[in-house]
Amino acid sequence: MAGPVSKNARREGAQELMSRWGGKIIMRSVFENGKIRHFAECSKTKNTARKPRMLM
């Protein structure tokens, strides 16, 4: 894939990223206060971060 991939595209499953703990990074979206908030979550440890790069 050329260039950066948006958080929305990652959420759809366009990329498979691995966290530093060995789990797969999954993008999740939550609707709160009238806005959609995206965050990354490690499937193994359930750690969350705003960007997937923070879990790598």
Is 0.75 surpassed by the pTM of this model?
no
Q: For 10-45, how does the pLDDT look when each residue is reduced to its tens digit (9 = 90+)?
A: 666 556 788 888 888 888 888 989 998 888 888 888
pLDDT band at 55 (very low <50, low <70, confident <90, very high): confident
| CA angle, 13 then 14 then 18, to 5° | 70
Instruction: Provide mean pLDDT across the span 40-55.
Output: 86
Confidence at residue 34, expressed as pLDDT on a 0 to 100 scale? 92
Confidence at residue 32, expressed as pLDDT on a 0 to 100 scale? 87
